Amino acid sequence: MDCFAAPGPAPLPLDEALARVQAAYGPATEPESVPLRSALGRILAESVTAPGDVPPMAVSAMDGWGFRAADTAGDGPVRLAVVGRVPAGSVFGGTVGAGEAVRIFTGAPVPAGVDAVAMQEDCRADGDAAVLVPANVKRGANIREAGEDMAAGAVVLTPGRRLRAQEIGLAAAVGRSHLSVRKRLRVVLFSTGDELREPGTAKPDGAIYDANRYTLAAQLDALGVDVHDLGILPDQREATRAALATAADTADLLVTSGGVSVGEEDHVKAAVGALGSIDLWKLAIKPGKPLALGRIGNTPFLGLPGNPVSAMVTFMLVGRPLVLRLSGAESAPIPRCLVVSGFEFRKKAGRREFLRARLALGADGRPVAHKFPSDSSGVLTSMVEADGLVDMPADATAIKPGDMVEFLPFTGLFA
């Protein structure tokens, strides 16, 4: 009589897996202070407050002429006497009175008495002593009030924000030269499989080059972590167990590809179970069902499938949120948008599928998704040809041309 292994737990819905990630994991690194020029891509570890108003006083938003708006009431251009010139960085010492104007430049403090600025294109100098300005200029025109951008005491950046150029510029605008950020997450990465070879080396019959480690390292690099590549591990239980145990001592996160399915040579899952725990195994998605999430001691472990498309997609959907969570980043929902389907597709209910597709503009100007012909998780060219993934719900059974479908652009999933 033949004996068969128990089927194990049912595959977990993706949303439940993501909820577990949010509940079970938190920041894994300590803060450090870095100069602004080194802060790009880092995770902010402090609140940043504006010590004063920005701008600190009312300033001109344009190159032009400043005056009292009430002086321009009427039917035609108004002639005003020029009483001064205010470049950016200087201050006009007096007060601009009725019937008077000053030449003023972008960013210059607005003199007392001025409550409107007309653009220089709308004005005409009348010699050096006068200027013609348009009629009926509104009070406040082309003036940036004090605190218009940031008010004194306002919290302008919060912890968990991943710093882009605009956040760094904002920090500079409130006078910060350094920021407290989370230290980079240390991620140890390796592949498993006797069939794998390093690119650039000889490849005997039956072998393939290891693409997964390079795609995953690139995905991790895009998230700003510190990647440590352990290379390729053989399909040997003890070697796998020893490598995982050693790496767990120095890593904030372990990431592997391959070895987490149910084959006799899939040793990673068993090794993690022996050294720690497997908290999640198998997702109810395609591609990417064989995914493992657990711990070795206190070190989180993420085991991705061995097929290249499955490895990339599961990292986008689960690995990216996990890395951001461990890095101390605020929750970042998977970006998505609605597009028109340009294809027909059918499946059985019960498993959520992510279909590789490219976008093109339809005749009406709306983006249309065109599915890649192959659904194989081994066709890496599909990830190059596609612009993103069409998210087909678990209970859906068909997509028809013209249907509105949810699309996950790679531009949001790779950063």
Rounded to whole angstroms, how far apart are CA atoms 319 and 227? Answer: 14
- CATH fold for domain 59-144: Molybdopterin biosynthesis moeA protein; domain 3 (2.170.190)
Cβ atoms of residues 49 and 203 within 8 Å: no
The pLDDT of residue 271 is 85
Record the pTM.
0.87
| Superfamily in which the 14-29+184-326 domain is placed by CATH | MoaB/Mog-like domain (3.40.980.10)
The pLDDT of residue 8 is 58
Give the residue carrying structure tokens 């087909």: 392
- CATH fold for domain 337-413: Beta-clip (2.40.340)
DSSP H or E run through 231 = strand 226-233
Rounded to whole angstroms, how far apart are CA atoms 410 and 179? Answer: 30
So where are the chain's domains? 14-29+184-326, 32-53+151-182, 59-144, 337-413
Cβ-based neighbours of 155, under 8 Å, separated by 6 or more: 47, 48, 49
| pLDDT block averages, 10 residues each, the chain of length 415 | 48 93 95 98 97 97 97 94 96 96 97 98 94 97 97 97 97 98 96 91 93 96 95 86 91 88 63 88 91 93 94 96 95 89 96 97 96 95 97 97 97 86
The pLDDT of residue 3 is 37
**CATH number of the domain located at residue range(s) 32-53+151-182 in this protein:** 3.90.105.10
Rounded to whole angstroms, how far apart are CA atoms 192 and 158? Answer: 40
Rounded to whole angstroms, how far apart are CA atoms 108 and 59? Answer: 5
Strands 155-157 and 48-49: antiparallel
